[in-house]
Amino acid sequence: MLPGSILKQLAESRDGQGSPLQFGTYYKNTLVALCHALEDSIETTTSEPLVVAAFQMGKWYLEEADRYRVLADRACHTTILAAPCAGFGDHPTASHPKVSLIGLDPADPVAQEWHLAIFSPTYQAMVLCQELTAADYGPEGVPTEDLARKFYGLWTFEPGLVQEAIALLIEKVAEHDDPLAATLRSRMATIAAAIPDTPRDNPGEIVARVVSYLEQAHHQQEAAIATAGQSARSLDLNLVSNELQAMLRLAELVDLNDPENPAGAAQVATLCEAMGELLDLPAWQLKRLRLAALLHRVALMQPTEPYWDGVEADLAAEPDGGAVGQSCTLDPAAQILRSMPRLRAIAQIVSHRTERWDGKGGPAGLAGDAIPLESRLLALAAHFQAQLVGLSSEEQRSHLDAILETCSNDANRWDPKLLEILTLVVRGMQQGWSLPVLPVKVASGLWLLDDDERGLTPATLDLSAPVG
């Protein structure tokens, strides 16, 4: 990371404080789709956000200037930073009353960065990236194709991170226009004060838009893969990785916005893995089970219907003749996950977590071993974890037998084999084992999903290695 860059300043300010930042590597085509999705969500937000963007050079800003004029009508103020070139200040958007342009010296490290920060009481989102240097690219050299350029950084919906990044960007603005910086600080303070008392815009709808835009870019890339080989394939995999990141970030928000169970998904994932290991499940199935556990609560932030148009049309194409697909439409969580084709297997697991061993559950009325194993396991783990909510570690240990007995008394609901496995886990907890809250490394490409017979390819693509 370049000294003096916003990315490096944010990393240094967070060093040793709170959860570590999760950086990844992103191709330009990924960032274009991602930023357009986040920008277009401004059109539907219920409040007027403050927007700060950095475009590196004026020519890149000019490619987006028309859309920024439209977005400025919905924002309380928009500030654009870029090295002034190619008529940077001549476009009509520059004269919009709610737009300010800041010209950067091309040698300024911020002129090597690509930023988009959106901050309002109801909607907070951010992309914060820095282009790789020639040395970072290594022997392959700087790519000749514009969309193959790479950037290192992060994107997030976490309000605290967005606010901190905008504060750093405002300090950069202050170097060029102190009165404007003072105005932006005042607006930031007003927005931050309103956040605790303002319902958040539906993040499920925003994530749906992100996935949709990345899917569109993915389909556009497919033709290039056939003719351009590995380079285009790498671009495509980067898009897929970020679709998964969008889903995992939504799952993070569900936990963050649940004060009664703020670690629900993470703890259920840990419990599922422990039970899966005792069942001696193969590594690919453990990964799929963990992913299903991390995503099983996303229905708590479901999107509105328009962003799922076309999902239902694909249901009959399922290998089981559509029975699984039809059941998924009854479950908002499964419906959200099905928007990403590579998560169809995960959607099936999540959808059938409400089945019962005796066949009296739903959505398909499956019984016994006809219920997918991961669905049975996820359901029991989630039910067990919910009984621990609000209890201290000491209270948990004293209540474990009673909770286990409650599960055993409902034998018609649970797989008896899994109850035995859960009993082994409980005995371990009574001897000091706990459910750790492991951070989800959403930017590390934990899983590359594919449409194989298991719904998951065991291979991974590491996008998180430091590059500077």
Supply the CATH number for residue 357's domain.
1.10.3210
For residue 1, being part of any structural domain is answered with no
pTM recorded for the entire structure = 0.73
**Identity (one letter) of the amino acid at 144?**
T
Residues 157 and 260 in one domain: no
**Identity (one letter) of the amino acid at 416?**
P
Residues 142 and 244 in one domain: no
How many whole angstroms separate alpha carbon 266 and alpha carbon 293?
8
For residue 235, being part of any structural domain is answered with yes
For residue 267, being part of any structural domain is answered with yes
Residues 193 and 78 in one domain: yes
Domain boundary among 184, 201, 218: 201
Angle, nearest 10°, between helix axes 373-388 and 393-409?
130
Structurally, how many domains does the chain consist of?
A: 2
Domain that holds residue 191: 6-201
Contact assessment for residue 211 and residue 247, using Cβ atoms and an 8 Å cutoff: yes
Longest CA span, the chain: 74
DSSP 105: P
Residues 181 and 227 in one domain: no
Residues 216 and 102 in one domain: no
Contact assessment for residue 99 and residue 180, using Cβ atoms and an 8 Å cutoff: no
Angle, nearest 10°, between helix axes 6-13 and 159-174?
130
Query: What was the pLDDT predicted at 214?
Result: 79
How many whole angstroms separate alpha carbon 144 and alpha carbon 151?
15
Domain boundary among 201, 223, 257: 201
Residues 253 and 191 in one domain: no
Query: What was the pLDDT predicted at 188?
Result: 96
- The 24-27 sheet, strands edge to edge: 24-27, 150-156, 124-131, 113-119, 50-57, 77-83, 99-103
422: Cβ–Cβ under 8 A, 6 or more apart, which residues? Answer: 275, 380, 381, 384, 404, 407
Residues 412 and 342 in one domain: yes
**Identity (one letter) of the amino acid at 114?**
W
How many whole angstroms separate alpha carbon 216 and alpha carbon 212?
6
Residues 159 and 223 in one domain: no
Domain boundary among 201, 233, 263: 201
Query: Which residue blocks in 229-343 are alpha helix, DSSP H?
Result: 230-256, 264-278, 283-295, 323-328, 332-338
Token representation of residue 161? 């991170």
How many whole angstroms separate alpha carbon 333 and alpha carbon 301?
9
Query: What was the pLDDT predicted at 199?
Result: 85
Residues 71 and 149 in one domain: yes
**Identity (one letter) of the amino acid at 337?**
L
How many whole angstroms separate alpha carbon 163 and alpha carbon 117?
9
Residues 287 and 183 in one domain: no
- The owner of tokens 């556009």 is 220
CA distances from 432 to 99, 101, 249, 263, 274 (A): 58, 58, 31, 19, 14
How many whole angstroms separate alpha carbon 289 and alpha carbon 349?
8
- The owner of tokens 């790479």 is 150
CA distances from 224 to 40, 221, 297, 423 (A): 26, 5, 36, 52
User: Which CATH number is 43's domain given?
Assistant: 3.30.870
For residue 290, being part of any structural domain is answered with yes
Query: What was the pLDDT predicted at 465?
Result: 26
Q: Phi and psi of 18, rounded to 5°?
A: 70, -165
Residues 344 and 451 in one domain: yes
Residues 409 and 464 in one domain: yes
The rounded average pLDDT for each run of 10 residues, N- to C-terminus, in the chain (468 residues) is: 90 74 82 91 93 94 94 96 89 94 94 95 94 83 78 89 95 96 97 90 80 75 50 62 76 76 88 94 90 83 41 38 41 69 84 92 91 95 90 81 90 94 90 69 45 36 27
